[in-house]
Structure 1
Amino acid sequence: MSTLIKKVDKLTITFLVDNTIEWMTKLPPGFTHEVRQHLAQKGHGTYDEKKCVPVLDFENFCCGAHGFAALIETSVEGEKASHLTLFDTGPDSQSLVRNIKAMQVPVERITRVITSHWHSDHTGGLLSFLALRSSIIESTRQRAACIVDVHPDRPIARGIAPPPFDKVICAIPRDPTFEEIKNSGGDLEEGSVGHSVAGDTIWVSGEIPRKTDYEVGLLGGVRWVVKDSGSGSWVTENHIMDERYIVVDVVGKGLVIFSACSHAGIVNVVKDAVDTFKRPIHMIIGGLHLAGPESAPIVPKTVRFLSTDLKPAPAYVLPMHCSGFHAKVALEKALGEGCVPAGVGHKVVILGDRAIDDRLPATAY
């Protein structure tokens, strides 16, 4: 059994950026819709004295955006303080900041941001988040640093060359530079190998081994490369090798895997996590990158692995961001209510159980 990270007794997740807004679909125990959270907030909306009911304030609800960001709070029994960590920051300067305000997130308590990889739908909100945090820290006269945990291989630019892959149609908005992150108040930490953070309650992966023959990366991915001569050109980059996933181990439940975009393939991600921790998978969260017609052959193989080949199967899969409609339908058919329609504004609370941890089944695939 791995001792790379501590087992946590409570894991709380709030989705702050996702493509989907979902207010009404039935959710499993421990999941809370955004609306119910607002009803419990102080200062949200108004109260209609005549009708004796609160009035929702739609100006202060979360917005959807093509990207991902999750606030992760980890708590260990016997330790005084929990740890708040932000995983990815969405695509732009507005969506994460708006949604943080809507969910009344205690920004000053977030002491680390982890970026999954260098694509701006995951890093685009980083500088605006740091600016918001700095303004709050200054107003409260606190002195809490915020570490920004990134992979060192930041590209000059990345672009898209869709099938038939013979023409680059656009560049993706550039990621923040290291200098911009520092100037915005982030304490930069570069990491290309696996490491534990947040009081050893979160594992940040290193390079993800490519084991399957059907998960072929980001078809149409290109990268701008500058030669020694100073000239530059687009080169094919299907394998986004700077991508990282993170893991939290909940006592009595098993691993919760966050894979923001799964360019490596979610099967490769899960296999690496199982090989590393020798623990069952409780929940898989994030973008599975199975959208688009080029991913159609991969969907049934992925669903079969997660629902049948992986033993035991995960209790829950939350296909978000870039997972795609067809993958969600296929996962729901295979996993039933184990496939959760998660979206921005949802909160998930997972409580551990130390009494049954030793009885968790071994994992195989």
Structure 2
Amino acid sequence: MVAKLKTVDKLTITFLVDNNIEWFTKLPPGFTHEIKIHLGEHGHARNPVTGVPIMEFEKYCCGAHGFSALLETEVEGSEPQLTLFDTGPESLSIARNIASLQIPVERISRLILSHWHSDHSGGILSFLRIRKDSAKIDSSKPCVVDLHPDRPIARGLAPGGLPNVIGQLATDPRFEEIEELGGVVENHPEGHTVANDTVYVSGEIPRITSWEQGLLGAVRWVGDEASMKGEWVSEEHIMDERYALVDVKGKGLVIFSACSHAGIVNVVRDAIDKFKRPVHMVIGGLHLASPDLLDRIEPTVDFLTNKIRPAPTYVLPMHCTGFSAKVALEHAMGGGCVPAGTGVRVEVAGDDEAEKRMFAPTVSL
């Protein structure tokens, strides 16, 4: 167990990048649509004739194939901590959505990268540039960029197996580029707590579930980066992947798994094993979208709904989860499967009385 992690009184999540935009579906208590945030909080211009706020869609968020979530953690008596988990795939979506949601970038003290894939790392330099250029920035409070040290030269996809590599992901930012924009690089292969000990970042995720076999067809270039001399090798397990979590008083663990190449069952089992706390929310890409992964959906849904007691209150299937898996989760969980997306804000408030009644969960396979 990681005893250093604090239980927080409140967690606020703002989704900055996701594949999906969702404005109209009914959401549970504590969830707020982007459109309501704009109309209720951001002071839209009003039509001079009707007097009604104008919905200026050019100032709203955009979706993109990737993931990024801003975590604000609060412990009574301490300053709230802002932590960014991933940055989406490129420079445009993160910049537009930060501006749209009026994110106080100067208050973000740490950026956590879940793993070295450009749909999660592609916005790092853009975010750091925006933060560096902010008029409100305090140069004495730099942003730590929390990374796994095993940065690849290149990664690609070979669905039919080597040597047929059909595409290479965009190159991840180099440590030197991050430092040039004011980021302070910290390399962490091990599990650790950040944000005044209110957020846990995992180390290597144990691969123990039989049907969770990584990203099929994933390959990595091994060789010399300067000359690009080397070869492609199979790398389906993406061992640098990490998850993050927050423990909310009276609610339990809120788990952030950006892509779940390790398998979401492995992620949740590791979190429960380490913290012995109920799971309140499972959030992020569940990596069940492509046709070759469809046989993983049924056992995954069964695990999340039947093999954990108590079962998670909510699952937010995002990014690379896929339509079929979302349908299966909604069928099994009803309103517990929440269609969150870019621009949605979630507030998870602690509960002192519920905390007194909490007990360690049980897990079976």
SS in 1 for 2:332: helix
Instruction: State the number of aligned residues.
Output: 362
Structure 1 position 107 matched with structure 2 position 105: yes
CA distance in structure 1 between the partners assigned to 2:125 and 2:137 by the alignment: 20
SS in 1 for 2:311: coil
Mapped to 1, the partners of 2:224 and 2:177 lie a distance apart of: 24
The answer to whether the 8 Å contact 2:19/2:66 transfers is yes
State the partner residue of 2:47.
48
**Could you say which residue in structure 2 is the equivalent of 1:226?**
223
Q: How does 1:1-365 map to 2 (within 5 A)?
A: 3-43=3-43, 45-79=44-78, 81-137=79-135, 142-163=139-160, 166-226=163-223, 231-365=229-363
Contact persistence 1:11–1:351 (CA under 8 A): yes
1:41 offset after TM fit, Å? 3.0
- Counterpart CA distance in 2 for 1:125 and 1:146 is 15
The answer to whether the Cα contact below 8 Å between 2:106 and 2:137 also exists between their aligned partners in 1 is no
Q: Contact 1:312–1:361 (CA<8 Å) still a contact in 2?
A: no
Inter-CA distance 64–48: structure 2 relative to 1 (3 Å threshold)? same
Q: Structure 2: which amino acid aligns with 1:360? A: M
Contact 2:212 2:263 in 1 (8 A): yes
Identity %, equivalent residues: 60
Matched AA of 1:196: T
Report the 3-state secondary structure (helix = DSSP H, G, I; strand = E; otherwise coil) of the residue aligned with 1:329: helix
| TM-score calculated relative to the size of structure 1 | 0.96
Task: Supply the AA of the counterpart residue of 2:144.
Answer: I
Shift of 1:255: 0.2
Give 1:46 deviation, angstroms: 1.2
Aligned with 1:40: secondary structure? Answer: helix
Q: Give the CA deviation at 1:4.
A: 2.8
Kept in 1, the 8 Å contact 2:112–2:147? The answer is yes
State the distance in 2 between where 1:135 and 1:52 align. 35
| Unaligned residue ranges in structure 1 (runs of 5+) | none
Greater mean alpha carbon deviation, residues 4-13 or residues 225-234: 225-234
List gaps (5 residues or longer) in structure 2.
none
- Measured in 1, the distance between the counterparts of 2:309 and 2:261 equals 23
CA deviations 1:4-42 (Å, max 9, x no partner) are 300000000000000000100010000000000001234
- 1: CA distance between counterparts of 2:48 and 2:230? 65
Deviation at 1:227, TM superposition (A): 6.9
Structure 1 residue 322: deviation in Å?
Answer: 0.2
Give the letter for the 1:34 counterpart.
E
TM-superposed CA distance for 1:140, in Å, is 5.2
Distance 1:235 1:4, change over 3 A: same
Paired residues of 1:114 and 1:149 also in contact (CA < 8 A) = yes
The offset of 1:163, in angstroms, is 3.1
What SS class does the counterpart of residue 217 from structure 1 fall into?
coil
Letter in 1 for 2:202: S
Structure 1: how far apart are the matches of 2:137 and 2:241?
35
Q: TM-score, normalised by structure 2?
A: 0.96
